[in-house]
Amino acid sequence: MKKGHVADFMSGEQFETFVIKMVAAGAIADANDLADLLGVTRRTINRMREVGGDKMLALSCAALLKRLTPFDETADTATLPTLPKRVGSGRLPGSKDLAPRKKRTETEAQMRQRIEAEVRASLGLPTDNEVAA
Whether this prediction's pTM lies above 0.85 is answered by: no
Domain ranges of the chain: 6-65, 105-133
The pLDDT assigned to 83 comes to 61
d(CA 29, CA 23): 6
Contact, 49 vs 16, CB < 8 A?
yes
State pLDDT tens for residues 12-62: 999 999 999 999 989 899 888 999 999 999 999 999 999 999 889 999 999
Within 8 A by CB and 6+ apart from 117, the residues are 127, 128
Name which of 35, 29, 80, 24 is nearest 61 in CA terms: 35
